[in-house]
Amino acid sequence: MTSSYNPHVICKDGFKMSVQAGQSLYSSPKDVVGHYEEAEVGYPSTEESLLTTYAEDNENLCGTVYGYVPCSIIDEVIEKHGGIDESKIEALSNEK
């Protein structure tokens, strides 16, 4: 099984982060499934205190990945930043 690339999460206040899950990523479970307990977050557009504990590189919080972040924390981050801006994600997907 492999993983598939998902577009960045773009929030309504402009905050962006990559959220990925799959076999070769810092996520759980490792198989490609419909529901994950933990996912890999990467390269947030600004430092986010809810993610800091999971940072691979604490010296470069916007240029690192965050492994095995509980999905409940990811949901909190998204909510904190106003929710997902679906229109911006759709526009980004249409550019490719």
User: Which residues, 6 or more positions from 33, have their beta carbon under 8 angstroms from its beta carbon?
Assistant: none
Top-confidence residue, 28 or 47:
47
**Token pair belonging to 61:** 């919080």
Range of the domain at 51: 9-90
Residue 13 placed within a domain: yes
Q: Which residue has the higher pLDDT, 46 or 95?
A: 46
The tally of domains found in the chain comes to 1
The model's confidence at residue 1, banded by pLDDT at 50, 70 and 90, is: very low
What pLDDT was estimated at residue 33? 72
Decide if pLDDT at 57 tops 90: yes
Structural domain includes residue 52: yes
pLDDT at 2: 44
Residue 90 has pLDDT above 90, yes or no: no
What are residue 65's phi and psi, to 5 degrees? -105, 160
Inside any domain, residue 71? yes
pLDDT of residue 65: 98
* 2 falls within a domain: no
Question: Is the alpha carbon torsion for 78, 40, 3, 6 positive or negative?
Answer: positive
Residue 19 lies in a domain: yes
